Every structure is written in structure tokens, then in C-alpha cells.
Structure 1
């Protein structure tokens, strides 16, 4: 296993869905760990489908769900409750470095003749999610500086088990990213609700196709 301690610098492209997820939806379908159930506060969250072209563990793909804000320790922060990636190196290092509960999946990003892309994520023969995203409009710069104080808190995980299990202290990470984006339409969405939140029940506030971004994940702070 390739050991890759932080900081990480990653580049790639992706689709970002930003939405208000109702509390009842998050608590019943958000895959919250016990510490996240206790700390959940709401506001807005995100779903990200990312094709990382470079990283310290090589190229890989990612699907993640952030339900909203949480009161964890004495900080109000975002927290990831469900995440799939395409490589074991990303799983092991993500759990070890930042307490991110990554699981294994396979990904397909396909460009269609109309300029849209079809994205499919599978787990052991079952489709977790499939959708089509079609960008429109002009490109504009995007950065995490638009969300002042952006940070993610996760609980430390045991890394030598097939399923992530929270242990120990909270880890606070302040990722930063920049790139360019276009607005996008979503269509043809299918979700396996036993494996990921049912996004068909959610109306996004905005959907973005993000291109040529660079992201940095620094070492975490302990709370």
C-alpha cells in the first residue's frame, strides 16, 4: 500500500450539486455516523462527483455526500457522511489521514455528442448512481474562498477493517480549491437508495460542472 501523508494537492474535473437537504431526509437517508447524528445542524450541503487526474496516490474518481453543517466539538463545520472512491490507496490514506470514511466503487465518466457527460458509479455489480450533466452558459472562476471558514470535521477511523469505524478524536481539515465552472442541467438520474441518498427527492439550488480545478488537503488539526 502506498503511504501518502498530507498535504495532498489534487487536480481534476467534476460535477457539484449544492442543495438544502431537509433534516428528516438527512436523518433517515444521510448515512450519518452516531457522532454526526448528534451534531447535525443543517443549512446547505453538497454532492460531488469528481475525476481526479492527479493526486499523491495517482488518478482516481470520487462520489461524496455532505449533508450540511454540524456542531462538532466547539466548531460548526461540514462533514462527509457517505463517500466512494475508485482506488484502495485513496481509501486507506483518506481514512488514515483525515478520518474520511471512503468505500470502494467503480466509475465511468463518458462524454456525449451533445456536450453532456454521463457518470455512472457501481459497487459489486449494483449501480449506486447514474446521471447526465450538461453544462451551459459562460465559464466563471470558482474558489472555496466563496465559503469563508470552509472546513470539514471527521472522527478518526480504524484503517485496517473493510468497513470504516469511528474511533478516537475529531479531526478538522481546511481544504482549499480553485478552478473554473459552468452551470449545468441534470437529467436521467437513477440512485440505489440503499447505497446513497435518494437525490431524486431533492431539488438542487445550483449544479456546476467544474473544470481544471486544483485542490489542497492539508494535515488535520485535532479537536
Structure 2
């Protein structure tokens, strides 16, 4: 079955207003790791750099609740490349087709299963015949602090995507609360996601609540 729907079925036009909770995992990637994971279209870097892995549970969106796992790639500023989302899985078909159509985001449909026990959060993501798992540990007591996209350099939030011969460019806006996250561990990433257990884990965060605006993208032909 095709992932595309005819334009007349797209009733949920941007901007989108979304609410939910999330985990933001920060990793330092070495040039070797980037080279070994070329299948995931990470931008090359001769010295390495930071990328973010974001796991989201949208409780409210124009297309209903859904889950999401993505890589947000921030190339070196000196290379004058914009941020991008090279890999992303979501839990509903309607999110897949809307994300591709309006923002050029290469969403793929996967199944998400959650188990929450005290300060531990387990998420299994199934795609095709493969299943990987992510275990996240929160601190029992962690002070939350407020964050707003206005506090972040605009260039880091300017996302550029290429999809089916079109260039998409947009800058999400968000606000919410951050709490420090204790640790994250991966199992069985196989070939559906990079094995981030092989690189340096940096300070990461749990976002107990946030609001996100996805604006209308600027779209140009290649």
C-alpha cells in the first residue's frame, strides 16, 4: 500500500499545535560512528559532533495522539548546513502521510509499546520483522526548569528536508519544562536505528510537558 494520499484527503493543514511529553537524548558522534552509519544519512563530520535522539508521546495533535522516535541532526555551524531529521518512526499512518506531505519528513510507520514502572520507562519499537528497545531512567527528584525556543539560536531550529524532488524548510517553536535524565540504554537496534550505546552519552533530559508549533514549510523545487 502506498504511503501517500491524494491531496484532497489532507484536511489538517499547518500550522500544527501539539502537546505531549518527551525524552531528549544527546550524543557525541565520532567520525567513525558516522561513517559506519551512512545508511541513516547522518551528515559527515571530520571531527564529530552532537546529535539528538528524541522520543515523543504526543497526547494532542491535529491527527490525534501518536508516538515518535527521531534523530535531529545538527551539522557543524561552520559547514553552513541546516538541521535535519534523517530518520524518524511514528505510530500512526496519518502522521506518516501528513509529515511527508507538509514538511518533507521521511516518517515511517512503526509500533510502539510502553512500560512505565516507577522511575523507569521502557519503550519497544517494532519495524518490519525487527524490534528494538530503549530503557530510560529518570531521577527520583529532579528540578524542572523552563525552556522556550526563543532561547535557542535560530539556525539550530531551522530544519531543512528534501522529499520527492522538493526542498522543505521550517522552524518549529516550542516551550516546556526540562528535567535531567539519569541514563538511557539501547538493545537490538540491528539495522533499523544506529546503536547509540556505542557513542558518548551526554547530559539528556525528560520533558514532562511541552507545547510545539509546526509552521507551514517553505517549499521549493530542487
What's the TM-score, normalizing by structure 1?
A: 0.83
| Matching residue of 1:105 | 110
Cα 1:143–1:42 shift into 2, 3 Å: farther
1:5 equivalent in alignment to 2:10: no
> Residue 120 of structure 1 contacts residue 129 of structure 1 at CA under 8 Å; is this kept in 2?
yes
1:182 and 2:187 equivalent? no
1:156 corresponding residue in structure 2: 163
1:203 aligned residue (196, 200, 203): 200
3-state secondary structure, aligned to 2:98: helix
1:28 aligns with 2:33: no
Shift of 1:143: 2.4
Distance verdict in 2 for CA 1:39–1:119, change over 3 Å = same
Give the match for residue 54 of structure 1.
60
C-alpha contact (below 8 Å) 1:9/1:215 kept by paired residues: yes
What SS class does the counterpart of residue 219 from structure 1 fall into?
coil
**Structure 2 gap ranges (5+):** none
1:20-169 alignment to 2 at 5 Å? Answer: 20-29=28-37, 31-33=39-41, 43-69=49-75, 76-112=81-117, 114-135=118-139, 136-149=141-154, 150-157=157-164, 167-168=165-166
Within 1, Cα distance between the matches of 2:202 and 2:44?
A: 26
- 1:163 corresponds in structure 2 to none
Q: Which runs of 5+ in 1 are unaligned?
A: 158-166
- Superposed displacement of residue 23, structure 1: 2.7
Distance in 1, Cα, partners of 2:150 & 2:26? 16
Cα deviations across residues 48-69 of structure 1 (Å, max 9, x unaligned)?
Answer: 0000001111100000012322
Taking the aligned partners of 2:45 and 2:200, their CA distance within structure 1 comes to 24
1:178 and 1:30, CA in 2 relative to 1: closer, same or farther beyond 3 A?
farther
> Which whole-Å CA distance do the structure 2 matches of 1:48 and 1:219 have between them?
22
Alignment check: 8 A CA contact 1:45 1:66 kept: yes
Query: d(CA) in 1 for partners of 2:38 and 2:191?
Result: 10
**Deviations, residues 31-60 of structure 1 (Å, cap 9, x unaligned):** 344xx6589996321000000001111100
Instruction: Say if 1:208 and 1:191 are closer, same or farther in 2 by CA, change over 3 A.
Output: farther
Deviations 1:109-129 (A, max 9, x none): 3220x3222122112342133
Q: CA 1:188/1:22 → structure 2, altered by over 3 Å: closer, same or farther? A: closer
**What displacement does 1:9 show?**
0.8
Q: CA RMSD in A?
A: 2.5
Contact 2:57 2:68 in 1 (8 A): yes
Deviation at 1:130, TM superposition (A): 2.4
Q: Give the structure 2 partner of residue 172 of structure 1.
A: 169
